[in-house]
A and B are shown apart, each in its own frame.
Chain A
Amino acid sequence: MTTIMNLFGRAKSKNNTDESYYTAGQMALIKARFNRKLSGRIASWILITTLMLGLFASFFSPVDPTIKGADSDYRRGAPQMVYFWDENGFSLRPFTYTYTKEGAKIDLKALAGGGLAALDALTSSGALTSSNQNKYKVDQDKRRYLQFFVESWEYSFLDLTPIGIDFEWRTKLHLFGVEQGQVHLMGTDEDGKDVFSRTLHAIWITISIALVALVVKLFSSLIVGGVSGYFGGRIDAVLMAITEAVRVIPPIPVYLACAVALAQIDLTSVQRYFAIAVVIGLLDFATLGRRLRTHILTERNQDYVLAAQLSGASNWRVIWVHLIPSFTSYIIVDTLINFPYVILAETSLSFLGLGLTEPVNSLGVLLQKAQDPDIQQNMVWQFFPVVIFVVMVMAFVFVGDALRDAADPHSENK
């Protein structure tokens, strides 16, 4: 055969590499097609970086994000720049400066002599506002060099106790820090909590809430779609009528109602957080459920399913070995595409004060602060979580888009 092909000059240029192509499963093929999309590839690297930053937030953050780590000497502080050189010379090790609080410039004398009128003047001049109370002087001569792999506050790097394994790896190691005091790359908030560290921690909380919601959603959709599609008939008609009814009601008001109801129950913040995720997931079965049903209906009539039945395979085997794997790639793509929407739902709830609340670090909670006119005008650096949020959602959307194109079998012959 090969000789004939050589004879006609059509022997394909690939030879050794094709075995890997031939033995590649569907997922590997999708991956290969995905890799051809430049925008998807770039977006996926951005996404992976963000997720890693979120997952190992404690390692990457120089400061404890909770109130324990709050820097009482640097409240409402602006971002501290990192330099390699200044007029005092070049340094291979990056450094920042020492910031010290300026003394409050209140004219006490005038206040003492002037009585009420002076007090009025002082209040209206704005000198008493917290932003004027927290001004910092940069001391360029006192450099603080960044240290890498430093020991600082303790955290658990890996904690398996929640899943039943008695293993916890606690460490004090952090990627970077400074010798004395703290470094605030993105400034601090009104309590002196480090914005950069808070944002990193918030990423993972937001992602995990979305993950919980999507897993719950997947289960509810699988049950509804699977039962409806596989059994058909009257069960299908009833389930689809209910699905249709759920589909026409706008979801955010429904989440709101549930959040209000949850607020009645006395829950810890962690429980509340899971309860909200579960509610978001449970009520979002309509779209995916319907699609899965259609998918099962078409896939059920494929020849290979009939072949399996004729081979003596039981219903159970047909479902698990043939039908369910046939839409895993679809489910993965759908989940990825839905990530931004679930994250947005969480932020919307938090924005209205009905989702997570301070002191929990979620992107929704941090975004909610953007409403505050004080932050809008005096602490623009607290918009840093917004930037991370937008980048992350955009990355999700682009990866989802490219993955959808890649998973579509028709794109093979384009």
Chain B
Amino acid sequence: MIGSFLASTWLFWLLLSVGGLLFWRSRSSQYFGFVLNRYLLALLTLLLVSAIVFSLMEVLPGDCAEKYIAYKNTQGETITQADIDAERVRMGLDKPLVHRWASWITDLTLRGDLGFSCAKRQSVNVALGNRFWMSFAFCIGGLVFAYLIAVPFGIFSAFMINKPWTDRNPQHSSAKRLLNTVWLFVQKAIDLKLRIISYLGLALPNFLLALSIILIYVFAGESTPTGLFSDQWRDQPWFNESGFQYGKLDDFIAHIWLPIFVIGWSATALQLQTVRALVVDETNKLYVDAAKARGVSGVALWAGYPVRHSINPLFNSVGFDFQRVYNDLPIVAVVIGLTDSASLLIEALAMTNDQELAAAILFLVALVVISMNFVTDIVLAAIDPRVRRSVLG
């Protein structure tokens, strides 16, 4: 009895106990007070998101009853308007929006139940399965790719931004001036080229990029890296009698790089701009000059001072970066033929009008973004004295 009650309300107790724990700790620590504050704020934002998403889905045509009846129709039954109305009442669709939203959000907070998809005729949780995690992995992969490129190049670009094209220092001999000028020119040219490449990722729409890559494969006569696996490996299990299937892993990697590369490249431009601006900001601060004046030089100076101080704010926005990357994923998924949650989302929105599924996916994305923001907020407050000072006073 109690066991089944707990089993059907587990998520609620989990959320409540985290809150309680934070509240208890916050009585003795200002930091945990801040964490509790953020936690409650995150829950509130989630509530708002669910309301927005839920009401947005109302604009999609059709409702559950119509879909159910349409399904019945295919089974050869004749249906009247009265049947549809009766079905609506049975499903509770005649109730006002707020009422339906409340019941949806209650199921969600009590046991993580995302609802029932009428178009797919199965629970949303089942329909999604591992597909959301798959998209999550793509996005994280894309983000890591973008960071790996944007952070070093952004830092490099920041140091180039105010360098002159020529060296005119009279203290240098003319040979040295020429040498320096050539060196400066090379650096500036590299900087410009890097920026053009990274902006190209932004200027080329994702679908075109993915298409062009596929086209190259087509012209080269190779099999295209669409989907997640090639036909050969698709139905093979990861493990069989001869142990782990490395062939499948190879095949997987040969396919997975394409979506990651495509969405990663387009995220690079924005990241590069951000890193560049952050590092430039820090470089102009007096403490960098002061460190230079006490003999700190070279890598120790740049890495230890401006770069170190600009990295933390960069990770501040990791949640929104995730959102931006996920934003691009659906179209890429359509072009490449992925079967993750992003392509489900497109299918649900543009083809089957599956409100419940679409709402659930959007909500999950928002959940990931909000959790990431929450984590970066509290981690930064713990490790960065500047943040600590501004949030804790």
CB of A279 to closest CB in B, whole Å: 10
> B350, A256: Cβ atoms under 8 Å?
yes
Interface positions of A from 26 to 68, Cβ below 8 Å from B? 39
Asked if A264 is at the interface (CB within 8 A of a chain B CB), the reply is yes
Extra pairs beyond A245-B48, A248-B323, A348-B207 (12, CB < 8 Å): A245-B45, A247-B320, A249-B362, A250-B362, A256-B350, A260-B60, A261-B61, A344-B202, A352-B331, A371-B207, A389-B205, A394-B200
A371 to B284, CA, bound (A): 47
A-B contacts, 19 listed (Cβ < 8 Å): A246-B52, A248-B320, A248-B323, A248-B373, A249-B53, A249-B362, A250-B365, A251-B327, A252-B330, A256-B346, A256-B349, A256-B350, A257-B349, A261-B59, A351-B205, A351-B207, A352-B334, A376-B215, A401-B195
Asked if A242 is at the interface (CB within 8 A of a chain B CB), the reply is yes
- Size category of the binding interface on chain A: 35 or more
Asked if B49 is at the interface (CB within 8 A of a chain A CB), the reply is yes
CB of B207 to closest CB in A, whole Å: 6
A153 to B375, CA, bound (A): 63
Asked if A253 is at the interface (CB within 8 A of a chain B CB), the reply is yes
> A249, B45: Cβ atoms under 8 Å?
no
In the complex, residue of chain B having the shortest beta-carbon distance to the beta carbon of A247: B320
Known A-B contacts A260-B60, A340-B203, A390-B200; the reply to A414 vs B334 at CB < 8 A is no
Known A-B contacts A248-B323, A250-B365, A260-B60; the reply to A390 vs B45 at CB < 8 A is no
Asked if B196 is at the interface (CB within 8 A of a chain A CB), the reply is yes
Interface positions of A from 349 to 374, Cβ below 8 Å from B? 351-354, 367, 370-371
CB of A397 to closest CB in B, whole Å: 5
Interface positions of B from 217 to 238, Cβ below 8 Å from A? 218
A390 to B196, CA, bound (A): 11
Residues of B within 8 A of A175 (CB): none
A405 to B327, CA, bound (A): 28
Residues of A within 8 A of B79 (CB): none
> A371, B211: Cβ atoms under 8 Å?
yes
Of the candidates A241, A242, A257, A354, the one whose C-beta lies within 8 Å of that of B57 is A257
> B205, A253: Cβ atoms under 8 Å?
no
Q: Count of B residues near A, CB < 8 Å?
A: 54
Asked if B204 is at the interface (CB within 8 A of a chain A CB), the reply is yes
CB of B268 to closest CB in A, whole Å: 12
A353 to B346, CA, bound (A): 12
- Chain B interface mostly helix, strand, loop or mixed? helix
Known A-B contacts A241-B48, A249-B52, A250-B323; the reply to A397 vs B365 at CB < 8 A is no
CB of A239 to closest CB in B, whole Å: 12
CB of A47 to closest CB in B, whole Å: 13
Known A-B contacts A249-B362, A249-B365; the reply to A354 vs B196 at CB < 8 A is no
> A260, B61: Cβ atoms under 8 Å?
yes
Of the candidates A252, A351, A414, the one whose C-beta lies within 8 Å of that of B327 is A252
> B162, A253: Cβ atoms under 8 Å?
no
Known A-B contacts A352-B331, A352-B350, A394-B196; the reply to A249 vs B366 at CB < 8 A is yes
> B203, A393: Cβ atoms under 8 Å?
yes
In the complex, residue of chain B having the shortest beta-carbon distance to the beta carbon of A263: B61
> A253, B349: Cβ atoms under 8 Å?
yes
Of the candidates A39, A340, A348, A389, the one whose C-beta lies within 8 Å of that of B192 is A39
> A257, B56: Cβ atoms under 8 Å?
yes
Of the candidates B203, B208, B353, the one whose C-beta lies within 8 Å of that of A260 is B353
CB of A411 to closest CB in B, whole Å: 9
List the interface of chain B (C-beta within 8 A of A).
44-45, 48-49, 52-53, 56-57, 59-61, 161-162, 192, 195-196, 199-200, 202-205, 207-208, 211, 215, 218, 269, 273, 284, 319-320, 323-324, 326-328, 330-331, 334-335, 345-346, 349-350, 353, 358, 361-362, 365-366, 369-370, 373
A414 to B285, CA, bound (A): 12
CB of B181 to closest CB in A, whole Å: 16
Asked if A410 is at the interface (CB within 8 A of a chain B CB), the reply is yes
Residues of B within 8 A of A371 (CB): 207, 211, 335
Complex A-B, nearest 10 residue pairs according to Cβ-Cβ distance, in ascending order: A245-B48, A393-B203, A261-B59, A250-B327, A248-B369, A248-B366, A394-B203, A256-B349, A390-B203, A245-B49
CB of A46 to closest CB in B, whole Å: 12
Of the candidates A39, A247, A397, the one whose C-beta lies within 8 Å of that of B203 is A397
Of the candidates B45, B199, B204, B335, the one whose C-beta lies within 8 Å of that of A244 is B45
**Residue in A250, A256, A352, A354 whose Cβ sees the most chain B Cβ within 10 Å:** A250
Asked if A258 is at the interface (CB within 8 A of a chain B CB), the reply is yes
Asked if A96 is at the interface (CB within 8 A of a chain B CB), the reply is no
In the complex, residue of chain B having the shortest beta-carbon distance to the beta carbon of A377: B218
**Residue in A242, A260, A386 whose Cβ sees the most chain B Cβ within 10 Å:** A260
> B45, A414: Cβ atoms under 8 Å?
no
CB of A386 to closest CB in B, whole Å: 6
A241 to B328, CA, bound (A): 25
CB of B63 to closest CB in A, whole Å: 13
Residues of B within 8 A of A401 (CB): 195, 273
Known A-B contacts A257-B56, A340-B202; the reply to A367 vs B208 at CB < 8 A is yes
